[in-house]
């Protein structure tokens, strides 16, 4: 059957492709430690599962409003308002099937053919592809390690054209864990004030996963005058270990959100009603466990950083948020048969039995990403295997 040219040009999601490959190998009985996909190793907390189960038994198994139940939207509005200093009401909020669907809907309802979307690289794999699906043009801006993997105000200013419609900001960022500080957002806001037609999509999905003294700062809090043209996307997947429940949400100006709801009403309708009941329990219940999880992630981050820094072949950038390590592996190029980050990841899969994702999938060649939201024992084994496999390589 015919596939249109636009969809033919879209890449398969790098994260999903490599995670599937690792899953297939494990299913074939191969001994592989999978550090590809970004998700906590914890199960969803029991009180959330129990609430969803009870809700299903009570008949919460039918369609809800397309935008989500009023109860859930109210809780989300309260959460965002508290975090970001906004004043969102129900009509500013839409719930969808994961953050990805909301980003998809936002770009689908807004982009015209050839509109440009500025995406700081390294970026989460799906941003440019969703832009292409929506017939826009991704404009990738390389943000090197020396700049903390963050776009500078100068870079932004020199990249904006008359065709720019969006800037995507993701902080804490996937795949690097970089976190924008207040002053950086202020400088970015100064540039954005000069360009009224540019909207900002803030992907805050890792808002709760922040280490040490780093702080989560939203653009809306730093620059409230930009609230009318800022869209905040987040969800429960990462914070509450609910990736499979597919609950994401988006907050923004009510007319725009209305268009997103219209589109969603013609595609998936509401996010799962049962998942929405679970999401209510997550937001209403105790948040204490999140502190324990953060403590574990911090330990895991420190473990992988300190162990991998032992290798002279690897460059480590300590993440300030999220649960990924973006490891520089350029010094391995030229050893053995390795000449790019795909080679390195294949080598690690074959020789260390550890699955990680090449940086080039995230728009930055010369790195690999691993997810460290895993049990300590597994991480220790994975990192030891990686170090051992690298140590046998020689120039």
Task: CB nearer to ligand GLU: give 206 or 256.
Answer: 206
Nearest to 173 by CA among 212, 138, 143, 136: 143
Residue 20 lies near ligand GLU (rule: CB under 6 A): no
Biggest CA pair distance of the chain: 65
What is the distance between the terminal CA atoms of the chain, rounded to a whole angstrom?
Answer: 49
Binding mask 210-249 for ligand GLU (x = CB under 6 A): ----------------------------------------
Q: Going edge to edge, which strands form the sheet with 357-358?
A: 324-328, 367-371, 357-358
One residue of 20, 21, 26, 37 binding ligand GLU per CB under 6 A: 37
Residue 125 lies near ligand GLU (rule: CB under 6 A): yes
CB of 109 to ligand GLU, least distance (A): 21
Task: CB nearer to ligand GLU: give 20 or 137.
Answer: 20
Residue 319 lies near ligand GLU (rule: CB under 6 A): no
Task: CB nearer to ligand GLU: give 160 or 201.
Answer: 201
Give the span between the Cα atoms of 341 and 210, in whole angstroms. 27
Write out the H or E segment, with its range, that includes residue 116.
Answer: strand 116-121
Residue 380 lies near ligand GLU (rule: CB under 6 A): no
Task: CB nearer to ligand GLU: give 15 or 264.
Answer: 15
- β 116-121/137-142 pair status: parallel
Residue with smallest beta-carbon separation from ligand GLU: 38
CB of 107 to ligand GLU, least distance (A): 16
- Burial (CB count within 10 angstroms: exposed 0-12, middle 13-18, buried 19+), residue 21: middle
Rounded to the nearest 10 degrees, the angle between the axes of helix 46-57 and helix 273-284 is: 140
Task: CB nearer to ligand GLU: give 95 or 223.
Answer: 95
One residue of 34, 38, 72, 218 binding ligand GLU per CB under 6 A: 38
Which DSSP category does 287 fall into? -
Give the span between the Cα atoms of 27 and 84, in whole angstroms. 43
Estimate to the nearest angstrom the gap between the alpha carbon of 365 and the chain centroid.
19
Residues 63-122, interacting with ligand GLU (CB under 6 A): 100
Residues that bind ligand GLU (rule: CB under 6 A) add up to a total of 10
Q: By CB under 6 A, name the binding residues for ligand GLU.
A: 13, 15-16, 37-38, 100, 124-126, 174
């Amino acid at each position: 059957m015919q596939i249109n040219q636009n969809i033919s040009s879209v890449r398969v999601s790098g994260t999903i492709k490599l995670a599937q490959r690792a899953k297939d190998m494990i299913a074939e009985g191969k001994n592989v430690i999978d550090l590809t996909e970004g998700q906590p190793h914890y199960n969803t907390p029991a009180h959330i599962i129990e609430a969803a189960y009870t809700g299903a038994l009570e008949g919460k198994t039918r369609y809800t409003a397309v935008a989500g139940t009023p109860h859930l939207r109210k809780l989300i509005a309260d959460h965002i308002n508290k975090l970001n200093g906004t004043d969102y009401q129900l009509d500013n909020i839409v719930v969808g099937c994961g953050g990805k669907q909301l980003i998809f809907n936002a770009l689908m309802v807004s982009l015209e053919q050839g509109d440009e979307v500025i995406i700081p690289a390294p970026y989460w794999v799906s941003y440019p592809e969703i832009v292409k699906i929506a017939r826009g043009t991704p404009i990738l801006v390389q943000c090197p390690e020396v700049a903390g993997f963050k776009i500078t105000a100068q870079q932004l200013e020199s990249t904006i054209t008359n065709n720019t419609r969006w800037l995507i900001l993701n902080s804490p960022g996937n795949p690097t864990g970089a976190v924008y500080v207040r002053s950086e957002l202020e400088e970015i806001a100064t540039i954005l004030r000069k360009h009224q037609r540019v909207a900002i999509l803030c992907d805050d999905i890792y808002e709760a996963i922040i280490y040490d003294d780093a702080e989560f700062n939203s653009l809306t809090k730093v620059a409230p005058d930009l609230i009318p043209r800022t869209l905040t996307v987040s969800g429960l997947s990462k914070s509450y270990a609910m990736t499979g429940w597919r609950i994401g949400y988006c907050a923004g100006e009510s007319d725009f959100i209305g268009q997103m709801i219209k589109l969603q009403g013609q595609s998936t309708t509401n996010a799962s009603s049962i998942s929405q009941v679970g999401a209510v329990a997550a937001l209403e219940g105790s948040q204490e466990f999140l502190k324990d999880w953060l403590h574990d992630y911090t330990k895991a981050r420190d473990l992988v950083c300190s162990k991998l820094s032992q290798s002279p072949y690897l460059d480590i950038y300590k993440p300030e948020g999220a649960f990924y390590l973006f490891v520089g592996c350029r010094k391995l190029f030229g050893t053995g048969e390795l000449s790019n980050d795909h080679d390195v990841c294949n080598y690690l899969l074959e020789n260390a039995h550890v699955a990680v994702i090449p940086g080039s999938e995230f728009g930055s060649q010369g790195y690999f990403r691993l997810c460290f939201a895993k049990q300590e024992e597994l991480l220790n084994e994975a990192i030891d295997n990686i170090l051992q496999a690298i140590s046998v390589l020689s120039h």
